[in-house]
Amino acid sequence: MNTMQITLDVPEDLLFTLNQSTEEFTAQICLWTALNLYKNHKLTLLQAAQLAKMDWHQFVTALDKHEIPVIDYSPTELEAEVQRLLT
């Protein structure tokens, strides 16, 4: 898998206020972005899990924790997603 690095400038005091390391903050940003993109049907479940650096089981647990439905598709979208999961 090819990856690309994206840089985000964050004030140092923000991480201090949040009491988070750079790694913790980065993981949280990746998860929130993945959750939002999945919720808005921009990424599949597997793509969102990959962005969040989780396997799909962990990502489904995160969806539940954030009260985001795992399945929120039209019948056509649901069929396409099932096919992607099976391949």
Q: What is the mean pLDDT of the chain?
A: 93
Structure confidence by residue, pLDDT tens digits, 40-58:
999 999 999 999 999 999 9
Q: What is the pTM of this model?
A: 0.79
CA-based radius of gyration for the chain: 15
Q: CA 68 to CA 64: how far, in whole Å?
A: 6
Q: What is the pLDDT of residue 44?
A: 93
Cβ-proximal residues to 6 (8 Å cutoff; 6+ apart), any chain: none
